[in-house]
Amino acid sequence: MTTVRDHRAMVTEQGRAGGDGRPELDLLVWDAPNVDMTLANVIGGRPTPSSRPRFDAVARWLLQHAGDRDVEGCVFANVPPGGAVTMRGWVEAIRSFGYAVFARPKLGPDDDVDADMLAHIAGRAETHRLCRLVVASGDGRNFLGPLEDLARRGVEVLVLSFAEVAGYAQESELLTFVDLEDVPGAFIAPLPRVRLDNLPEGGAWLPPTRSMRALLDEGSD
């Protein structure tokens, strides 16, 4: 069975070799479960096709900064029981944009893809001269330490997420934060959100994310 470690042998978009003979690489790893969950939190509801990120636009953004270095984009996803049919079209669409997809069955609460993402990043850092790493995840608990270690070794590390949920990247002196909505064309329409880091001059209202009466229901439990 193919594992994430076996994925090291997959061919990336051809670029140039670094001074030590290893090919230079810009790598994007996308934590699909985390991005979906944080997007729902940001917009206050289940994402619709119009509010989901466009992987083709993210790929163009990645390529725009890569120059002639190797480029690789990987999407890591969980497949819940019975979810294969509904996810198949999404997976095939992503693959058609040049991304590799690592899919793990979601059989229990601990069946996450974070360890697989970190293993793949570590593998690529061995086989390539990792120049630029983009991690699409708001999960600082698992990623902050390893990403800062890579940054100390000279890798340019960007965290691609939402300002409301990726405080670990915004507070780090070693990581660069990019809001996913700031990637050109990533969304076909502005998300229904108010960003504290991008407020209009006259201020803005932030609506509640749930009813106040829900507090009464909590108190009765």
- Please give the residue that has the higher pLDDT: either 4 or 148: 148
What pLDDT, on a 0 to 100 scale, did the predictor assign at position 7?
Answer: 47
**pLDDT tier at 3 (50, 70, 90 boundaries)?**
very low
Asked if the structure places residue 112 within a domain, the reply is: yes
In tens, the pLDDT along 70-129 reads 999 999 999 988 888 989 999 999 999 999 999 999 887 777 899 999 999 999 999 999
CATH code at position 62: 3.40.50.1010
- Please give the residue that has the higher pLDDT: either 76 or 7: 76
User: What 8-state DSSP symbol labels residue 196?
Assistant: G
> Does residue 11 carry a pLDDT above 50?
no
199, burial (CB in 10 Å: exposed 0-12, middle 13-18, buried 19+): exposed
Q: 3-state DSSP helix/strand/coil percent for the chain, to nearest 5?
A: 40, 20, 40
d(CA 90, CA 215): 37
> Does residue 41 carry a pLDDT above 70?
yes
Asked if the structure places residue 91 within a domain, the reply is: yes
d(CA 36, CA 43): 11
8 Å CB contact between 167 and 140: yes
8 Å CB contact between 83 and 104: no
- Residue 167's domain comprises 22-192
User: Into how many domains does the chain fold?
Assistant: 1
Please name the residues in contact with 207: beta carbons below 8 A apart, sequence gap of 6 or more: 44
d(CA 73, CA 160): 13
Asked if the structure places residue 207 within a domain, the reply is: no
**pLDDT tier at 8 (50, 70, 90 boundaries)?**
very low
What pLDDT, on a 0 to 100 scale, did the predictor assign at position 168?
Answer: 93
Asked if the structure places residue 184 within a domain, the reply is: yes
Q: Tell me how many degrees the CA angle 88-187-111 measures, rounded to the nearest 5.
A: 40
**pLDDT tier at 208 (50, 70, 90 boundaries)?**
confident
Average pLDDT over residues 182-201: 88
